[in-house]
Amino acid sequence: MSRMGVFVCWCGANIAENVDCDEVARYAGTLPGVVIARSYKYMCSDPGQKIVTDAIEDLNLTGVVVASCSPRMHEPTFRKAATTVGLNAYMLEMANIREHCSWVHNNRHEATEKAKDLIRILVEKVKRNVPLKEIEVPVTQRVMVIGAGIAGIQAALDVASAGYEVALVERKPSIGGYMSLLDETFPTLDCSQCILTPRMVDVMQSDKITLHSFSEVEQVDGYIGNFKVKIRKKPRSVDMTKCTGCGDCWNNCMARNKITEPVRPALDDGISEDVMIKVDAILERYTDQAGMVIGILQDIQDEFNYLPEEALTYLSRKSDIPLSRLYGVARFYNAFSLTPRGKHIIRVCLGTACHLKGGPRIAEAIAHELGIESGETTEDGLFTLERVNCLGCCALAPVVEVNGTVHAGVTVGKIPSILAQYGYERECIQV
């Protein structure tokens, strides 16, 4: 039959501020098996510890729960105290009602209830604890580092310089990892090769480090101090004593080049024939496709009135320019639209001269007249309204361009007649 003791600490105001410690202790006293439950201002102080040790001796306790701070803080304190009066250290456990409870809650009632729960759980746990005996086991003083990137290399070198043996395992044929792919390092823009390569050489020169490159860890067994690891060395088919690392075999290997070829969708997968014919015709005009991305996109936009996803996807497949780059360019420049535009494109100039002469007013009035905002298209698909930062007709400001034709000296009053030239019909308002 267990005889449990529960000791609730206030930790000054740290716990008592948010947890009703007296109430918690009273509750703990009602738990089955608990023969004593006390609360005290500082349980870790000498008088506090004495309360615990006295209780263990006087009441012949078989288990103790101290409800106070984190076990990282005072578990050793209380366990040491318990052993002085003959209780096995592992029969004492800490319920963390400070870091896990009072410090992180501000509702006193709920925090109190949570503290009760934490204590009840610990009480049940300690009832099931068995006394443990500490023993010493021999430790194999060797270290394995998995991954020989810059971090793994440095760890291996540090351990080796402390005098221990290291097994450094790297999956790839060469060590160095991602850092060997970089030019400069953030934020100081130091030369990354200058940091990495001396360390790579150090690894090879260290007599404490055994390098297992082109190898993978397959299985890890055992426990701290006595691990058993199975490393699979991949077949290199290269005589390492003769290899100079020139890389010729790597570069010229037919098999590798074949295997790493990315899987590409078929050129015409999901692309309509019409789009293919049109894009092909545009591409024929360009010899240097990568350098002329902007020109090609302009031509596609001229053809389709906007940049359809289908056309961009096809262009990307055909020209080997990543789709992300095409979209990057398309989004950067004002001239491109990724959504279909109207039959007539109205561009209101908002250059400085036009701004002074009422350009914004004109833009607003056209928007009001058509019932759309800048960048939108009318429902009937007739007009798209855009703004442009100067058409270079500043002397005739304010100007509006429709389908490439510039209208000069536009006033609010002239707008309906300009729009009418392009088939706009004003809705008649019945008076």
Partner 1 sequence: MRTLRKNYSEAADQWEALQTSSVPVLYVGAATCGRAAGAGEVIERLQTEIRDRQIAAQVVEVGCLGLCCLEPLVVVHKPGSPQVCYGRVDTDRIVHILDRYVLGDDPCAEWALGTMTPGEVDSIGKFSEHPMMTGQVRHVLRNCGVIDPKDMSHYLARDGYRGFMKALELGPDKTLKEVKKAGLRGRGGAGFPTWQKWQFCRTASGEPKYVICNADEGDPGAFMDRSIMEGDPYSVLEGMAIGAYVIGAESGYIYVRGEYPLAIRNLSIAIEQSRALGLLGDNILDSGFSFDLEIVRGAGAFVCGEETALIASVQGDIGSPRQRPPYPAQAGLWGKPTNINNVETWSNVPAIILRGGKQFSGIGTKQSKGTKVFSLVGKVRNTGLVEVPMGTTMREIVYDIGGGPQKKRTFKAVQSGGPSGGCIPAPLLDLPIDFDKLQEAGAMMGSGGLIVMDDHTCMVDVAKYFLAFLVDESCGKCTACREGVAQMHNILVRICQGEGRDGDIELLEQLGTYVKDTSLCQLGGTAPNPVLSTLRYFRDEYEAHIHDKTCRAGVCKSLVRFAIDPDTCKGCGLCVRDCPTDAISGEKKEPHHIDADLCVQCGVCYEDCPFDAVLVE
Q: How far is the CB of 170 from partner 1 (least distance, A)?
A: 35
**Peptide bond before 235: cis, by omega within 30 degrees of 0?**
no
In the list 388, 402, 418, 422, the residue contacting partner 1 (rule: CB under 8 A) is 388
| Contact range with partner 1 by CB under 8 A, out of 148-156, 175-183, 207-215, 334-342 | 334-342
d(CA 282, CA 408): 34
Closest CA to 97 of 33, 39, 31: 39
Footprint (CB under 8 A) of partner 1, residues 291-330: 291-295, 297-298, 325, 328-329
**Peptide bond before 398: cis, by omega within 30 degrees of 0?**
yes
Q: How far is the CB of 369 from partner 1 (least distance, A)?
A: 9
Q: How far is the CB of 132 from partner 1 (least distance, A)?
A: 58
Closest CA to 271 of 303, 305, 318: 318
Does position 332 bind partner 1 by CB under 8 A? yes
Question: Alpha-carbon dihedral of residues 409, 415, 418, 423, nearest 10 degrees?
Answer: 170
Q: How far is the CB of 321 from partner 1 (least distance, A)?
A: 8
Does position 399 bind partner 1 by CB under 8 A? yes
d(CA 397, CA 409): 5
Locate 400 and state its tokens: 């509006």
d(CA 55, CA 45): 16
Query: Residue 102, SS3?
Result: helix
Build a one-symbol-per-residue string for 343-382: x at contacts with partner 1 by CB under 8 A, - elsewhere: -------xxxxxxxxx--x--xx--x--------------
Q: How far is the CB of 136 from partner 1 (least distance, A)?
A: 58
217 vs 329 by CB, closer to partner 1: 329
d(CA 118, CA 34): 15
175 vs 354 by CB, closer to partner 1: 354
29 vs 328 by CB, closer to partner 1: 328
Q: Tell me the site size for partner 1, rule CB under 8 A.
A: 49
Locate 212 and state its tokens: 């297992």
Binding residues for partner 1, per CB under 8 A?
Answer: 290-295, 297-298, 325, 328-329, 332-336, 350-358, 361, 364-365, 368, 388-397, 399, 404-409, 411-413
